[in-house]
A and B are shown apart, each in its own frame.
Chain A
């Protein structure tokens, strides 16, 4: 004889990640490290922006380079003589709090005060996965098309700072960068949106200042 029984499970897989993310943030706070999660589209300039910030900012910086295969970006950061941990996500399209926690063990957290966590190039999946960072910077570029923002609203709703990069190429690719700014404002009215060209250095100082303001507010 068999009997059917209903078992209350109530195990939220998302909550498990959020709990880990809070633990990560506590670990960062204990080490007085401010962490910036850098998310954005593939090829939008995330790595180049972080490289420029490493060179220009007056902080002891560390980097977690997340990618499907992370060695390429990690190698770029290493040339700037900062501690770097590459995280291979393999088949996964995003970093999660568990992977980031692993990276903490390989980083000299006591020696750094600013940590950039470069997420996998993706505007969809990272939305679901908090990492424990203190702020999230979204980097997109005009070359992805000026409808990028309206097609991926949620990542902008959660953003603390938005960078629209490669604006020097806007005419060449027929993109309206002002439309992209207003699309972001439509979704997240209070967020600061900065147009940049890392080639001409347009807007770069503003990005740096915006991050400093967040660090000082913390």
Chain B
């Protein structure tokens, strides 16, 4: 379970950026989590809720966007959104949608990216 350490890293990143931008409060945080990243977004959300207590993040809305898998196929050179294997498995096996090959390079889908934050700052600072 590394959701806790990832949530800690997210909070640290956000608070650092907020401080550098003289934020008085953080209103919203958008995080991108790749479909192939071994993180359960709901667990990340729960842990963030615990970690933000008594910080500038306490009342922020946390938006988690799932990033679909993009690949480059080593067989047919297809580049774009991947097919998953159609099973109900949470951890998808990645397939090329064009030739069904599994030998693919993963271009997107392994992120845990703090994308943007919305902060409140006083007019004098703005």
A residues neighboring B (CB under 8 Å)? 1-16, 91-94, 124-125, 127-128, 152-154, 157, 187-190
Minimum C-beta distance from B114 to chain A (A): 5
Contacts of A9 in B (CB 8 A): 13-14, 17, 114-117
Chain B residues near A94: list those with CB within 8 A.
2
Q: How far is the CA of A153 from the CA of B36 in the complex (A)?
A: 11
B residues neighboring A (CB under 8 Å): 1-2, 4-6, 9-10, 13-14, 17-18, 21, 24, 27, 34, 36-39, 89, 91, 93-94, 102-103, 110-123, 126
Residue of B with least CB distance to A150? B89
Partner of B123, one of A1, A12, A153: A1
| Chain A residues with CB under 8 A of B37 | 14, 128
Say yes or no: A11-B114 contact (C-beta < 8 A), given A3-B126, A154-B91, A187-B102: yes
Q: From the candidates B6, B18, B36, B113, name the one contacting A11 in the complex (CB within 8 A).
A: B113
Given A128-B2, A153-B91, answer yes or no on A13-B123 (Cβ-Cβ < 8 Å). no
Give the secondary structure class of B's interface: mixed
Report yes or no: A157 in contact with B94, Cβ–Cβ below 8 A. yes
Residue pair B1, A128 in contact (C-beta under 8 Å):
no
**Residue in B4, B6, B93 whose beta carbon sits within 8 Å of that of A13 in the complex:** B6
Known contacts A128-B2, A189-B103, A190-B103; decide if A10 and B119 are in contact (CB<8 Å). Answer: no
User: How far, in Å, is B15 (CB) from chain A's closest CB?
Assistant: 11
Q: Which residues of A contact B102 (CB under 8 A)?
A: 157, 187-189
CA A150 to CA B115, docked complex, whole Å: 33
Is B103 a contact partner of A14 (Cβ separation < 8 A)? no
- For A1, give its contact among B9, B115, B119, B122 (CB under 8 Å): B122
In Å, the complex CA distance between A99 and B93 comes to 29
Residues from chain A with Cβ under 8 Å of B4 in the complex: 91
Per a CB cutoff under 8 Å, which of A4, A93, A128 touches B118?
A: A4
**Complex Cα–Cα for A16 and B120 (A):** 28
Name 25 A/B residue pairs within 8 A (Cβ), A-sorted. Answer: A2-B121, A3-B120, A5-B118, A5-B119, A7-B21, A7-B118, A8-B116, A9-B13, A9-B14, A9-B117, A10-B113, A11-B17, A12-B111, A13-B6, A13-B10, A15-B111, A91-B5, A93-B1, A94-B2, A153-B89, A153-B91, A153-B93, A154-B93, A187-B102, A188-B102
A124 CB, min distance to chain B CBs, angstroms: 5
Report B67 CB to chain A, min CB distance, Å: 10
B17 smallest CB distance to A (angstroms): 5
